[in-house]
Amino acid sequence: MTVARVLILLFSLALLPPPADAGDVGLPKGYWDQPLKPQGRAPQAWSDLEASLDPQSCGACHADKLEEWRGSLHAKAFSPGLIGQLLSFSPQETQDCLNCHAPLAEQAAAFEAARRQGKGHLAASQGLAAAGNSCGGCHVRGHKRFGPPQRGTAATGPSLGESPHGGVTRTADFERPEFCGTCHQFSADQAINGKPLENTVEEWRQSPQAKAGQTCQTCHMPDRKHLWRGIHDPATVEAGLEAKVVTDRDRIRVTLTSRAVGHAFPTYVTPKAILHAVLIDGRGQARPETEATVLIQRRVAFDGTDWRELSDTRLLPGQSAGVEIAWGDATQARVWLEVQPDDFYHVETYSQLLRDLPPKSAARRLIAEADARAAASVYSLFAQVVSRPGLKTGR
């Protein structure tokens, strides 16, 4: 364990919400030591259904969770953009990526088996790997189930009595941000200009939302729903922000404020958001020369050896960004927030790969698919047409 990791651990211990009750044994030591160990053999008495790590099998009894998870990005983490890169990686390099994208040892084994047959690119051959960040990666170790305090009773510790899959060990550790931090927080020794590329848990720690007791789970798993909606979901982003338009006879000003995002908006370097205001003519056509924009993004570049930060204009909780234009001779303006959730992948990662990968290769086809998805993920929020006040009344 590096010094930085020890420090992070101490930090986390210092900050944890309510102390666990006496029955709460917590997660076993090494629960998140990556790469995860193989589960080993399931108890002989178990049915195939109980022994299976396939989310479909879990869903036979936990249908609601399967349904929610299926639509989430966690379920789609073994994605074309990932596989297109893995195909040219060694198994060791591949494992580094799988730790977060398909964390079970059984998933790495399934992908490597498909790769050896020259079928690594085919979803039908990838077996459990295709399930991405699946049920077992978060809930199953050595075939034992782990979960949060029991709904209703808040009981922790091992469940009693005869239940499928030998019951479950319940612990409040499932409700802590550190549970997510395994994959959503890089260590402090990987900082670029003081901040690692993924710094979500640290950002959360500094936030007023953390002080008010809101965790990652509060916002991203309300009522324990397994949806994990984030920047790819317009409604989630809209709910986190407030846009205000203020106008008088001379100018129009739009201000965007981060109200309910428990970390930087956006937290990663990959999305980009742009606040726009532009005057429009009598036919509703934009007059591009009047457009004012402000970029909300942490921009980084890799120079071949090191990452450098170029700029960071993301909004921390409570912070605002604004644009202003003078009406001039115009009477109407259009304002909106443009969100590009996968900007960095589209502009940097995929465009580079599309230049480098051999034409017609399976990897290139996958990256082209990922790039098309990235381009299609762009959307607008808070779009509206604003009229210049005061003119009609002839004041």
Question: Angle 179-184-190 (CA atoms, 0-180°, nearest 5)?
Answer: 120
Tell which one of 112, 175, 291, 312 touches ligand HEC (CB under 6 A): 175
286: left (phi over 0), alpha (psi -120 to 50) or beta: beta
The residue (of 247 and 267) whose beta carbon lies closer to ligand HEC is 267
Q: How far is CA 175 from CA 94, 223, 233, 260, in A?
A: 29, 12, 23, 19
CB of 289 to ligand HEC, least distance (A): 31
How far, rounded to the nearest angstrom, does the alpha carbon of residue 290 sit from its chain's CA centroid?
Answer: 35
Binding map of ligand HEC across residues 323-352, x = CB under 6 A, - = no contact: ------------------x---x-------
Residue 313 binds ligand HEC, judged by CB under 6 A? no
| Joined tokens for residue 174 | 């499932």
Tell which one of 179, 192, 247, 346 touches ligand HEC (CB under 6 A): 179
Tell which one of 26, 35, 127, 167 touches ligand HEC (CB under 6 A): 167
Residue 73 binds ligand HEC, judged by CB under 6 A? yes
Side by side, which strands form the sheet with 140-141?
140-141, 144-147, 169-170, 157-158
Residue 111 binds ligand HEC, judged by CB under 6 A? no
The residue (of 256 and 292) whose beta carbon lies closer to ligand HEC is 256
Tell which one of 156, 171, 199, 200 touches ligand HEC (CB under 6 A): 200
Residue 108 binds ligand HEC, judged by CB under 6 A? no
Count residues binding ligand HEC (CB under 6 A).
90
Tell which one of 20, 46, 65, 251 touches ligand HEC (CB under 6 A): 65
320, 325, 326, 332: CA torsion to nearest 10: -110
Residue 157 binds ligand HEC, judged by CB under 6 A? no
Residues 266-305 contacting ligand HEC, CB under 6 A: 266-268, 270-271
CB of 195 to ligand HEC, least distance (A): 13
The residue (of 43 and 328) whose beta carbon lies closer to ligand HEC is 43
CA torsion sign for 231, 236, 239, 244 is: positive
Return the residue nearest ligand HEC (CB atom): 262
Residue 120 binds ligand HEC, judged by CB under 6 A? no
Residues 233-252 contacting ligand HEC, CB under 6 A: 236-237, 239-240
Residue 131 binds ligand HEC, judged by CB under 6 A? no
Does residue 86 contact residue 120 with C-beta atoms inside 8 Å?
Answer: yes
Could you tell me which residues are beta bridge partners of residue 257? 242, 320
Contacts by 9-13 with C-beta closer than 8 Å and gap 24+?
A: 11/205, 12/176, 12/178, 12/181
Could you tell me which residues are beta bridge partners of residue 252? 247, 325
Residues 18-47 contacting ligand HEC, CB under 6 A: none
Tell which one of 214, 331, 332, 361 touches ligand HEC (CB under 6 A): 214
Residue among 356, 358, 354, 357 nearest 368 (CA): 354
Say if residue 106 is exposed, middle or buried (CB neighbours under 10 Å; 0-12, 13-18, 19+).
buried
Residue 100 binds ligand HEC, judged by CB under 6 A? yes
Task: Give the range of 12-20, 38-46, 256-264, 330-338 binding ligand HEC by CB under 6 A.
Answer: 256-264
Residue ranges of alpha helices (H) inside the chain are 3-15, 48-51, 55-61, 63-70, 80-86, 91-101, 105-116, 135-139, 177-184, 200-205, 208-211, 216-220, 234-240, 343-344, 351-356, 362-376
Please count the residues of the chain.
Answer: 395
Tell which one of 119, 220, 299, 334 touches ligand HEC (CB under 6 A): 220
The residue (of 228 and 327) whose beta carbon lies closer to ligand HEC is 228
The residue (of 120 and 240) whose beta carbon lies closer to ligand HEC is 240
